[in-house]
Amino acid sequence: MVVGIVGLGLMGGSLALDLRRFALAQEILGYDRNEEHAKTAQELGLVDRIVPLEELKRADVIFLAIPVEGIIKLFPTFKDIDPQTTLIDLGSTKAKIIQACPPEIRSNFVPAHPMTGTEYSGPLAAIEGLYHGKIVVLCDIEASGELHKERAKELFEAIGMEIVYMEAKEHDLHAAYISHLPHAISYALANSVLKQEDPKSILVLAAGGFKDMSRLAKSNPDMWVDIFKQNREHLLEAMEVFKRELRQALELIEEERWEELRTWMARATTLHKIL
């Protein structure tokens, strides 16, 4: 089949590598509004050809690997795709994207969120095997046509992903706690340290803990502003819960209630039994 990928950064580029590795596409067409990204993707061999959107729309399967707001803005462009063309998004939020999908192509559309990624972006960040062994969440697929559901499932399973099904609002709530809140915390930590420490001290003293916690702050701000915007309600709820926990730790330390602090920490360490 012919596969089109809109967005040739980490997610789209890595997907292209795996589609090629497992011989899942006869031809891979690419489109990226960033001309430098498109040129680099072509030079790296991520795609066979860079084409305009009108030509890419004739692919058998189209993946939207762009920021979530970009997916919504691009939907009208695909209103005239063939009924046999499968449209799959890789966005980190789901409810608003599904709501924005034109009814004419809702049966073509399979809303998906691959739970994978790195802090890097752009076609140079693309890596083979990014999707292998990871979970992909498919949301509200009862509204997707049988052909398109089966295609999406076959492709994701072929690149080594485990499929989980969720209702879109449920997905967005869980994503707020598991993915979006950690990014907000990482940005906050990085800004806190940058405002208090000189770069030399950061370089000398920053060890594993700080590096691990601040890694997500390297992520593309344009992409994450869009995600926070789309999942604002659930993210605010998660941030309020986090604020209460941080406030509790602050009070225990201020009041020197060390045994209660130990209990608070011990409860948190039980997370490793789940992970």
- Please give the angle made by the CA atoms of 28, 29 and 30, to the nearest 5 degrees: 120
Residue type, 111: P
Per-residue model confidence (pLDDT) at position 200: 72
110 shares a domain with 35: yes
**What is the domain count for the chain?**
2
Give yes or no: residues 227 and 160 share one domain.
no
- C-beta contacts of 20-24 below 8 A and 24+ residues apart: 21/128, 22/158, 22/159, 24/155, 24/158, 24/159
pLDDT 10s digits, 198-257: 767 776 777 677 888 888 998 889 889 999 999 999 999 999 999 999 999 999 999 999
pLDDT of residue 231: 95
Residue 10: what pLDDT? 94
CATH value at residue 204: 1.10.3660.10
Note whether 23 and 138 are within 8 A (CB). Answer: no
pLDDT in the model for residue 36: 94
Query: Quick check: 58 pLDDT over 80?
Result: yes
Same domain for 99 and 196, yes or no, is no
Q: State mean pLDDT over 122-138.
A: 96
Closest CA to 60 of 23, 11, 112, 108: 108
Average pLDDT of the residues in 178-202: 86
Please check whether residues 19 and 81 belong to one and the same domain.
yes
**pLDDT value at residue 203:** 66
Q: pLDDT band for position 274 (50/70/90)?
A: confident
| Dihedral over Cα of 147, 175, 123, 96: its sign | positive
Read off the pLDDT of each residue in 68-91 and give the average, rounded to a whole number.
96
Q: What is the CATH number of the domain that holds 110?
A: 3.40.50.720
Q: Tell me, what's the pLDDT at 226? A: 93
Q: Which of 5-19, 244-258, 260-274 shows the lowest per-residue confidence on average (mean pLDDT)?
A: 260-274
Count other Cβ atoms within 10 Å, centred on residue 41.
Answer: 28
Domain boundary among 119, 142, 166: 166
Tell which of 128, 143, 166 closes a domain.
Answer: 166
Q: Are residues 133 and 211 in the same domain?
A: no
| Domain co-membership, 182 together with 144 | no
For residues 143 and 94, membership in a common domain is answered with: yes
Mean pLDDT across the stretch 256-263?
Answer: 96
Question: Residue 52 — very low, low, confident or very high, per pLDDT cuts 50/70/90?
Answer: very high
Same domain, 126 and 37: yes
pLDDT tens digit sequence for 18-50: 999 999 999 999 999 999 999 999 999 999 999
Among 114, 138, 166, the domain-final residue is: 166
Residues 145 and 14 in one domain: yes
Rounded CA separation 187/192 (Å)? 9
Residue range 84-129, pLDDT digits in tens: 999 999 999 999 999 999 999 999 999 999 999 888 889 999 999 9
Query: Which domain range does residue 146 map to?
Result: 2-166
User: Residue 134: pLDDT band by 50, 70, 90 thresholds?
Assistant: very high
For residues 102 and 228, state if they share a domain: no
Residue 59 in contact with residue 52, Cβ under 8 Å? no
Q: Are residues 105 and 36 in the same domain?
A: yes
Give yes or no for a contact between 187 and 121, defined as CB atoms under 8 angstroms apart.
no
112: which strand partners? 138
Same domain, 145 and 241: no
| Burial per residue of 238-255, b for 16 or more beta-carbon CB atoms within 10 angstroms, e otherwise | bbeebeeeeeeeeebeee
